[in-house]
Amino acid sequence: MGDIRVGTSSWADRSLLASGWYPRSVNTAAGRLAYYAERFDLVEVDTSYYAVPAVETTAAWVERTPPGFTFDVKAFSLFTGHPTPVDALPRDLRPARHTGRLRRRDLPEDAYDELWARFHAALDPLATAGRLGAVLLQFPPWLRYGEAAKRRITELARRCQPHRVAVEFRHSSWLTGTDGVDTIDFLRRHELSYTCVDMPQGHPSSIPPILVATAELAMVRFHGHSADWVEGGKEDKFRYAYSDAELGEWVGPLGELAEQADEVHVLLNNCCGGQAQRDAQRLAELLGEPLCAPVGADRRRAGVG
């Protein structure tokens, strides 16, 4: 029976800082992470999607969190096929005379390899301290199921070695019919964690809320059910409050998922204001999970094992 760990997909986004979730006295980067780590022992790093963090930054995260705290790190946007602002790259790796957004093909091979080297360097302090959970490869809505796409995923997973990798799809073709069966088999063969999602349904980007473990680590991300998922801005897409009834419906399925995996990471990504933090705390209560249990304590959900 695997442990179920609950956290959120950010600890320092702007709307959270303005929400009042942090006391006024907690007004520094160091203080906010320490305060968060007193309440949760898992978090997703979202800022790494927008820029590769500096080694000094990730080393500071280790210093500000206790043993047993875990960071799941989202891969840099350029790696997963998202158009990326050229200014998001380190100055010395920006292609000459290129403005606006760039794709993988716009970057020379040596610069692309160096970007990966710096990403790994940023992961090293977390991994060395036992704080790294997995690298999350979140793919764009236009990446459809297919052999070329699967080759792309395995190439990226290879570049992430030796770290664990979780994969999140944003196109329904990956979980449709026999292709869905092949997707799960493909992830299992390559020991990649399928990222289960709760998200708005009825769109091409919609993935059904299927809970299945394809590796020792299982991951679940809660995006909410905003009516503005397709057309809204970032805050509108994730502006959603889960009711107790909705969260309660996940208790049994998450327990069943924990029976398939060594560990389950549950991340609330309805990050607008402090809603993700409130919903994560409530879900942990419903699961019977003590937040930030002492290292070595039995952190399994009450009634599960």
Segment-wise mean pLDDT, segments of 10 residues, the chain, 305 residues: 91 90 94 96 96 97 96 98 95 87 93 97 98 97 96 98 96 93 98 93 82 97 76 70 92 96 95 88 88 40 27
Compute the distance between CA of residue 260 and CA of residue 255 in angstroms, rounded to an integer.
9
pLDDT at 280: 95
Prediction pTM value: 0.90
Q: Are 94 and 114 in contact (CB under 8 A)?
A: no
Could you tell me the two tokens for 186?
Answer: 């493909």
DSSP letter, residue 259: T
Interhelix angle 275-287/251-258, nearest 10 degrees: 70
Query: How high is the pLDDT of residue 213?
Result: 97
Query: What pLDDT is stored for residue 304 in this prediction?
Result: 27
CA 31 and chain centroid, separation:
22
Q: How remote is the C-alpha of 54 from its chain's centroid?
A: 19
Separation CA 80–CA 87 (nearest Å): 17
* Radius of gyration, alpha carbons of the chain: 19
Cβ 244 vs Cβ 251: under 8 Å: no
- Cα–Cα distance, 103 to 239 (Å, whole number): 29
What pLDDT does residue 232 have? 66
pLDDT at 218: 98
Please check whether the domain covering 3-287 is classified as CATH 3.20.20.410: yes
Residues 12, 152: Cα–Cα separation, whole Å? 31
Give the whole-angstrom CA distance, residue 51 versus residue 146. Answer: 28
| Burial class, 222, CB count within 10 angstroms (exposed 0-12 / middle 13-18 / buried 19+) | buried
Please check whether residue 268 is in contact with residue 258, taking contact to mean a CB–CB distance below 8 angstroms. Answer: no
